[in-house]
Structures are given as structure tokens and as C-alpha cells.
Amino acid sequence: MDRLKGYLKIAGFFFAVLFLLVFIFRTYIIVDPGERAVIFNKITGNLRVAEPGFHILVPFVETPTVYDVKVQTYTMSKTQWEGEVKGDDSLKALTREGLIVFLDISVRFHPDPERLAELHRKIGPEYINKVVRPQVRSIARLTISGYSVEEIYSGKRELIQRTIEEKLRKRFEENFVVLDEVLLRDVRFTPDFEKAIERKQIAQQEAQRMKYVLQKEEMEKKRKIIEAQGEAEALRLKGKALAENPQLIQYEYIKKIAPTVQTIITDGKTIISLGDIFKKK
């Protein structure tokens, strides 16, 4: 019985010491959902990845580093409160002609949970500043350099966004990061270029207006020609008819006279009977 009590005292002492080591010296870690912990063993040099939950650490031997493996967003923008870097952090790139454009861009990504130990060993917790930011800036500039300013301005932004995403996904994968999405949020040009584009648009609109005016005048010209041709043909036919039947002159004249008039004296001597003419007709 005394021996059993002795064992219990030893066990109690052991658990008390363990409690002190675990809770007072913080030799444990709680990994939250959406996180992983890379635990480094100082003696063996090995790394192990801890899933969400409660984990006891070997005191003074194991040190944890927690990684957020949920989808994250990194933004580079002109607007101060939108980006991770305060102030104007938009990306400046050169087009194929060497003209400057400014990009607001966001990338959505997360560390690859299956390769987290490699990420920790080769890059470390600062992977956003070492991989994400520089790769985004490099790939975006390289992509923009393959397009002319007209192509960028005239609506190839979706194609540019897809190209950046394809190239960036490969680079991220090489560095143990998964790319979820690239968002090309805004493309801006220098004030001088924007003014030049505005002048060009105004000139194009004016050219379109003049084209419309010229087309309208051409149509009016054709209409008048057709009308004149019609009148000339009508006169020709009338002349032919008069040559064949001179009395048509009297008929045309009579049509304009009031219907109550039956007889006309033309020169003081000649009397025209309308009845006779109509009978002949």
C-alpha cells in the first residue's frame, strides 16, 4: 500500500512537471482551421507539418512556424487604402513601343499545404515578399512588353490578364505556391497619351460625320440626276407625241381651262369648239 502511494506521488510529480513545461513554458501549439504549422526539430534538423488541432512540442527542441493556407489576396494599386503597400503601389510597365502604362493588379493565392515543408526550408515565412510580389511585377511587365499601346487600349485586357495568369501559375508552382486568380483591375496611361487618344477619337468622330455628309450629298446628287433624266425623257416623249399629233397642244391647253367653257376664239378669227376636239379625242 505504501509502495502504491509512493508511485502515485511520483506520477503526480511527473504530471505536475509536465504541466509546468507544457503550459508555463508554452511547449504546445494550437493550429487553427485554415492553418498549418511547420515544426522544426533542432536536434535532428527534420521538419514536420502539423494539421489543425492541439500539438505538444518537445521543450527547447521543437519550434513551430504557423502558415495561413487559406486563399489570400495581394493587391498593387494606385489607391492608397487598397494595396498592401501604402501610397501609390501601381505597377509601371512599358509597351512594345516603349510607352508607359500603369497597372492596378490583384493576385489570389495560397501556400501549397502538401509542399509546406519545402516552402519553409527553401523560402520561409516571407514568401510573399520573396516570391509573390516580385514574380507578379516581373511577369506583368514582361507580358505588357509584348503588346502595343493600341492593343492594350482597344480591348485586349482580358487576353493580357489570361497570359499573366498562365505564366504566373507556373512560376508560383515552382516556388510551392498555388495561384488561384489574377485580376487586372485597371490600366492607365500617361496624361499626354490620354489627351492624344482623346484627340484621335474626336478626329475619328469628325471623319465619320464628314463621311456621312458626303454620302448624303452623293445620294442627293444621284437623286437629282435621276430626276433630271426623268424630266428629259418626259420632254422627249412629249415632243415625239406632239410631232405625231399637233392637236395635243390644244388638248393640253384645254385641260387647264374651266370645264364650263365650250368655245374659244384664239386670234379673233379662229373659233375652237371644245366639243369637236373632245369628239376627235
Q: What is the CATH number of the domain that holds 150?
A: 3.30.479.30
Q: Which of 67, 84, 102 is the last residue before a domain boundary?
A: 67
Q: How many residues does the chain have?
A: 281
Q: Are residues 53 and 112 in the same domain?
A: no
Q: Are the CB atoms for 66 and 116 separated by under 8 Å?
A: no
Q: Are residues 109 and 179 in the same domain?
A: yes
Q: Which of 67, 85, 103 is the last residue before a domain boundary?
A: 67
Q: What distance in Å separates the CA atoms of residue 178 and residue 120, rounded to the nearest whole number?
A: 15
Per-residue pLDDT of 160-202, as tens digits, reads 999 999 999 999 999 999 999 999 988 888 777 656 555 555 5
Q: Are residues 120 and 132 in the same domain?
A: yes
- Residue 258 half-sphere exposure toward CB, CA atoms < 13 A: 2
Q: What distance in Å separates the CA atoms of residue 76 and residue 92, rounded to the nearest whole number?
A: 11
Q: How confident is the model at residue 27 (pLDDT cuts 50, 70, 90)?
A: confident
Per-residue pLDDT of 4-16, as tens digits, reads 666 666 766 666 6
Range of the domain at 237: 198-244
Q: Are residues 81 and 165 in the same domain?
A: yes
Q: Are residues 6 and 42 in the same domain?
A: yes
More confident residue, 271 or 47: 47
Give pLDDT, residue 85: 81
Q: Are residues 79 and 125 in the same domain?
A: yes
Q: Are residues 99 and 110 in the same domain?
A: yes
Torsion, Cα 64 70 71 76, to 10 degrees, reads -40
Task: Say which range, 20-34, 76-90, 143-157, has the weakest mean pLDDT.
Answer: 20-34
Q: Are residues 111 and 155 in the same domain?
A: yes
Q: What distance in Å separates the CA atoms of residue 80 and residue 126, rounded to the nearest whole number?
A: 23
Q: Are residues 165 and 207 in the same domain?
A: no
Q: What distance in Å separates the CA atoms of residue 278 and residue 281, rounded to the nearest whole number?
A: 5
Q: Are residues 219 and 252 in the same domain?
A: no
Per-residue pLDDT of 94-109, as tens digits, reads 999 888 999 999 999 9
Give pLDDT, residue 211: 73
Torsion, Cα 13 14 16 17, to 10 degrees, reads 120
Q: Are the CB atoms for 109 and 72 separated by under 8 Å?
A: yes
Of 25-34, 107-116, 183-192, which one has max mean pLDDT?
Answer: 107-116
Task: Say which range, 44-58, 157-171, 239-253, has the weakest mean pLDDT.
Answer: 239-253
Q: What is the mean pLDDT of residues 200-226?
A: 68
Which pTM was predicted? 0.63
Q: How confident is the model at residue 250 (pLDDT cuts 50, 70, 90)?
A: low
- What's the total number of domains in the chain? 4
Q: Are residues 78 and 185 in the same domain?
A: yes
